[in-house]
Structure 1
Amino acid sequence: AMTDLMGGHVDLFFGTPQSVVPLVKSGELKAYGVTSKTKLEQLPNVESFVKVLGPKLEILYWQAMYAPAGTSEAVIKTLNVAMQEAVSDPTIIKTWDTEGFFIYPKEMRTPAAANALLKSEIVRWGQVIRDNNIHVDQ
């Protein structure tokens, strides 16, 4: 999608902060708004769609790490500890902050919190699909 936007094949794109902040700062892209409740610190002149148009436009970009079903709790705990250490590294924090990547608070970076977020997103977007009668064309 980014290639098509930069090549002039599409007119609009909703991208992750990491993919667009450097290009907006360099003047290669124009940002019309962000889908977080507040402005991005990295783009102080770009307004929040949520602030202007309402809470239904809050769309957060998130990532999670998953393991196969049946993975032992010990392995899950080890992976989570390693991930916590990685995202607490000052170099990672600085790099991600520069790119507009939000690091969730530590209590939201647990397997239980990730599962709760995933379930809430399934409910939210499932409702959007039903409310708008969206179907996949086959």
Structure 2
Amino acid sequence: FQGTAPAMNALLGGQVDILCDQTTQTIPQIKAGAVKFYGVTTKNRIKALPDAPTLAEQGLKDFEVLVWHGIYAPKGTPKPILEKMNAAVRAALKDPDVIRRMADLGAEIAPDSKLSPEGLQTWLSSEINKWGPVIKAGGTFAD
């Protein structure tokens, strides 16, 4: 599917039986009772769906899949510009309204350790190391 909207429409219309997507996109349908919800892929339950068990609680031990976002700049961007952008993003992510809205959508703000360019690079490297072998074993590729 080319996005959550057509995938959700197919689920609601009975063309597909299951959809695995991020809570930021699916909570309205879950809360409305339009779809059956099985669990979250995070290590801990999320505030937006407190009754939703984690997949680990349901027997898939050590299973954790996180949706995350990073902000990137072109290679060679001057350090003062990166620092200014990073400070603005960090300030926005500390805003109580932003935190509340993200929580309502089932998202959590990343810890400070992941909010610097270096922290993001460390996280990105760990995700590549975690998922690279899975992707290769599955024969998956981007086209």
Secondary structure (helix, strand or coil) at the match of 2:56 reads helix
User: Does residue 123 of the first structure (1) align with residue 129 of the second (2)?
Assistant: yes
The letter for the 1-side match of 2:88 is: A
1:91 & 1:62 partners in 2: Cα distance? Answer: 19
With the length of structure 1 as denominator, give the TM-score of the two structures.
Answer: 0.89
2:89 & 2:119 partners in 1: Cα distance? Answer: 14
* Residue 89 to residue 6, structure 1, CA distance change in 2 (3 Å): same
Secondary structure (helix, strand or coil) at the match of 1:117 reads helix
Give the length in aligned residue pairs. Answer: 136
Structure 1 gaps, min length 5: none
RMSD: 1.8
User: Does residue 67 of the first structure (1) align with residue 73 of the second (2)?
Assistant: yes
1:44 & 1:36 partners in 2: Cα distance? Answer: 12
Identity %: 33
What is the deviation of 1:133?
4.4
Contact between 2:135 and 2:141, CA under 8 Å: does it hold in 1? no
2:34 & 2:26 partners in 1: Cα distance? Answer: 9
User: Does residue 96 of the first structure (1) align with residue 102 of the second (2)?
Assistant: yes
